[in-house]
Amino acid sequence: MRLLLVEDNHRLAELLAEGLGRAGWSVDIVETLDDASAACRAFRFDAVLLDRGLPDGEGLDLLAAIRAARPPPAVLVLTARGGVQDRVEGLNRGADDYIIKPVAMEELVARINAAVRRTGAMRPTSLTCGRLTYDPLSRAMTVGDQPFDPTRRERVVLEALLNAAPRAVAKETLEERLESFDREIGRNALEVYIHRLRKRLAERDAGAVIETVRGLGYRLAAEGTAQRQG
């Protein structure tokens, strides 16, 4: 699951990203309204965690643009502005939740997950490729009726491929996802995880393969439709 964190306090953003990463979220960090708007146009997010006081304006002004995405992500405001009128304004303008800083990480994760569940009716209930099935809300993966449990880093890659399938995902995009999850990945980490995932999928007879799209990156395809693998 992918989250956009809009926060200009560098230290706080790093702490939030670290805690959310441990909870299984892949976090992209931006500091301004302009960068957040560009990110929402370029990528699909499951949730947005939005500060109000940003260098180039009021965070709530971004809500309309975020809601224009299809499907729209869950949007949670995380701010120090905790007055009644502040909270009312945020909710009336379209936020799914309004959270006052500071907040315990356990509570923040629970409220993000709850917001995503509430907006789940607007998302596909499951994604399938071959015999591999993925539930975006619970993040459960199965092959047939058996659980499929890749490692945490492999899961980051496979979730990105599943969400994009049958389209290809650029190598740079996958590397960015890994870096947002774990900034200490090795130089050839993506290739290692792709190799391991291919082996796992083959061993489980998942009916899905990861093919190389030369000059671009990788895509997940059902067996019989994949064109090239390398």
89 and 134 co-located in one domain: no
**Burial (CB count <10 Å: 0-12, 13-18, 19+), residue 55:** exposed
Instruction: Confirm whether 229 is domain-assigned.
Output: no
Q: Are residues 115 and 18 in the same domain?
A: yes
Q: What pLDDT, on a 0 to 100 scale, did the predictor assign at position 135?
A: 84
Name the residue with higher pLDDT: 30 or 136: 30
Query: How large is the average pLDDT for residues 69-84?
Result: 89
Shared domain for 138 and 182, answered yes or no, is yes
CB 48 within 8 A of CB 75: yes
CATH number of the domain at 162, please. Answer: 1.10.10.10
pLDDT average, residue stretch 11-39: 90
Percent of the chain with pLDDT over 90: 54
Residue 66 banded pLDDT, cuts 50, 70, 90: confident
Of 106, 122, 138, the position where a domain reaches its end is 122
What is the rounded distance in angstroms from the CA atom of residue 163 to the CA atom of residue 213?
17
Residue 228 in any domain: the answer is no
Q: Which of 122, 155, 179 lies at the terminal end of a domain, its last residue? A: 122
Averaged pLDDT of the chain: 87
For residues 92 and 15, membership in a common domain is answered with yes
pLDDT given for residue 137 in this prediction: 67
Model pTM score: 0.62
pLDDT at 183: 59
Torsion, CA 61, CA 67, CA 69, CA 73, rounded to 10: 110
pLDDT tier, 49 (very low <50, low <70, confident <90, very high otherwise): very high
Q: Is residue 55 a contact partner of residue 32, using CB atoms and an 8 Å limit?
A: yes
Contact 84, 91 (CB under 8 A): no
Residue 10 lies in a domain: yes
How does pLDDT run across 137-151, given as a tens digit for each residue? 677 899 998 999 999
Please compute the mean of the pLDDT values over residues 38-48 and round it to a whole number. 85
Closest to 206 measured CA to CA, from 218, 216, 215, 197: 197
Residue 227 covered by a domain:
no
Domain match, 149 and 218 both: yes
Question: Do 58 and 109 have their domain in common?
Answer: yes
What integer pLDDT is reported at residue 84 of this predicted model?
Answer: 95
Chain segment 179-203, per-residue pLDDT in tens:
765 556 667 889 999 999 999 999 9
Total domain count, the chain? 2
* Nearest CA-CA partner of 99 in 24, 1, 2, 7: 7
Q: Are residues 49 and 24 in the same domain?
A: yes
Domain that residue 22 falls in: 2-122
Q: 90 Cβ partners below 8 Å, 6+ apart?
A: 52, 60, 77, 79, 98
Question: Which of the listed residues 82, 104, 122 is the one where a domain comes to its end?
Answer: 122
* Reported confidence tier of residue 99, pLDDT bands at 50, 70, 90: very high
Q: Where do we find the tokens 């006081």?
A: 53
